[in-house]
Structure 1
Amino acid sequence: MRIDWTALPEAVTNEVADRVGGSHAVPAGTGDHAEIAATVTGTNGTAFVKAAHSDFGIRSLRFELRVSEAVSVPHSPAVQWHFETAGWLVVAFEHCAGPHADLSPSSPDLDLLGEALEVLGKAQAPDVGLFSPKGRLGFEHPAMDGDTLVHTDLGPANLIVTSRGLRIVDWAMATKAAPWVELAMLVPWLIGSGHTPQQAETWLAQHPAWSTVEPLVLDDFATKNAEKWASKSSQANAGWMRDLADWTGRWSTYRRMSGNH
């Protein structure tokens, strides 16, 4: 649950101000993994600061810190500094200035994402205790296992188009899996950005990893993912859950109805 920057203890805000050279904070408009997420500007520059206080929040942010420090792909923002005080874990990341990626059909941002996927598809998972496919998704299939670093949450909110290229933020759900899992996890976001399921699959087919997975395995993945989000959305009233239930359901239906695979 997000809270306001002003709710932080003075010991935390003072240390942030010491490091940034000021503490003009603008809250992030998206995301909810950390209790505090804000762009902080001072005389020493700008940083994207996350802070957590709850047990779950601290575990999640500490995991993201470990992954971010270990990830070497050029699309991941660098960790600038971190500290703990007054019961809070505070982490500053490289600030990524720019709009969120547009993943609609024919968007030039798709080319940037495609280039990033090529790099990610070859990135070995760092040895920092990443999620397993089942731990991340709640279901499993032997074909999902692998040694690749998989972000698993490449929605537009986590893709920022900067002057230096695409940046992928929020590695809090990073997983060790087969590279095709990243592509399959992208399908709902492409559908949510205006692609039909067929268009989404056609775009993903340009990546070699897509052709490495058996159609029946993709059928199984699409079905189980849709069932998961249908169940989640029936138990909660969050709009983003309903969206994911819709988008995953449309892909599952397409694969069930399509006879060309």
Structure 2
Amino acid sequence: MVIDAVQELQEITAPADMAIKAADQRWAMYALPGTADLLAGHTLLHTDLAPHNVLVDNRAHLVDWAWPTRGAARIDPAVLILRLLEAGHLLTSADSIARQFPSWRNAPGPAVQAFTTANAAAWAEIARADSALWKAAMGRHATAFETWAKTFPAR
């Protein structure tokens, strides 16, 4: 059901008049020079697919839209991978789940690396600023994901 909800979101273009951050701006300070533009796009992104932001009844509902973003559709599947790692999945199984989304399956390697690098830097900063154990764990997952994305042979 979560995959269905994220897939439905993947098909929504963020309205041009909606006052939300663009992904290339949101992660620009964390991205390597010249790579933030690889995060740009027109899809409405949730970007915070934490378990408490997904309510399930007869379908999954994405709630708590604190970080809505306009950007490349492949970003939400990447965010989902981090949450799957948090839930105990291995990177290979999390990637296998994310590959159900065409935006992730067809993502160019440099774009995947641009996001994973910027997101790892963002989570490292979050973990430094707050000693909560879950934030440190997310920082470790994001770093592992970044390292994996650089070496994964299918990319």
**Could you state the TM-score of these two structures normalised by the residue count of structure 2?**
0.85
Give CA-to-partner distance per residue, 1:30-52, whole Å, 9 cap, x none. xxxxxxxxxxxxxxxxxxxxxxx
> After superposition, where does 1:14-53 map in structure 2 within 5 Å?
none
**SS of equivalent to 2:67:** coil
Is the Cα contact below 8 Å between 1:136 and 1:173 reproduced in 2? no
Instruction: Give the letter for the 2:8 counterpart.
Output: V
Q: Greater helix percent: which structure?
A: 2
**SS of equivalent to 2:2:** helix
Aligned to 2:5: 116
Aligned to 1:170: 64
Aligned to 2:38: 143
Q: Which has the higher contact order (CA 8 A, sep 6+)?
A: 2
Structure 2 spans left out of the alignment, 5+ residues = none
Aligned to 1:193: 87
How far apart, CA to CA, are the structure 2 residues paired with 1:232 and 1:174? Answer: 18
Instruction: Give the letter for the 1:155 counterpart.
Output: A
Residue 161 in structure 1 maps to residue 56 in structure 2:
yes
How far apart, CA to CA, are the structure 1 residues paired with 2:114 and 2:142? Answer: 12
Aligned to 1:227: 121
Instruction: Give the letter for the 1:125 counterpart.
Output: A
Aligned to 1:152: 47
Is the Cα contact below 8 Å between 2:48 and 2:79 reproduced in 1? yes
Is the Cα contact below 8 Å between 2:39 and 2:115 reproduced in 1? no
Q: Greater strand percent: which structure?
A: 1
Residue 237 in structure 1 maps to residue 118 in structure 2:
no
How far apart, CA to CA, are the structure 2 residues paired with 1:133 and 1:233? Answer: 21
Q: Shift in Å at residue 258 of structure 1?
A: 3.4
Q: Shift in Å at residue 260 of structure 1?
A: 4.1
Larger Rg: 1
